[in-house]
């Protein structure tokens, strides 16, 4: 008797690695972006590359709200 790894009512296993790898890839891209932005907030980089919002990201990253916590808010995103 062969046992299917798919849950009842499913045609595939949603926990299979072929389903997990795209999510892992997207999370690594998000981590890299958040780490890059936190390095800008720590003044490691003097400018950031912003293809979509013009100077909007610089305004947000340098706002008073982003300096409320003792670490940059982008670093919290990278930790998340």
28-73 pLDDT, tens digit per residue, is 999 999 999 999 999 999 999 988 888 888 998 988 888 888 999 8
pTM over 0.85: no
Tell me the two tokens of residue 47. 């400018």
Q: Yes or no: say if 15 and 21 are a contact pair by the CB < 8 Å rule.
A: no
CB count, 10 Å around CB of 13?
13
**Terminal CA-CA length for the chain:** 43
Rounded-to-integer distance, Cα 70 and Cα 72, Å: 7
CB count, 10 Å around CB of 62?
12
């Amino acid at each position: 008797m062969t046992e299917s790894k798919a849950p009842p009512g499913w045609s595939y296993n949603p926990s299979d690695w072929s389903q997990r790898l795209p999510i892992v890839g997207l999370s690594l891209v998000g981590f890299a972006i958040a780490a890059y932005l936190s390095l800008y907030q720590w003044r490691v980089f003097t400018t950031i590359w912003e293809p979509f919002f013009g100077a909007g990201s610089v305004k947000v990253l340098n706002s008073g709200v982003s300096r409320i916590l003792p670490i940059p808010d982008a670093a919290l995103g990278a930790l998340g």
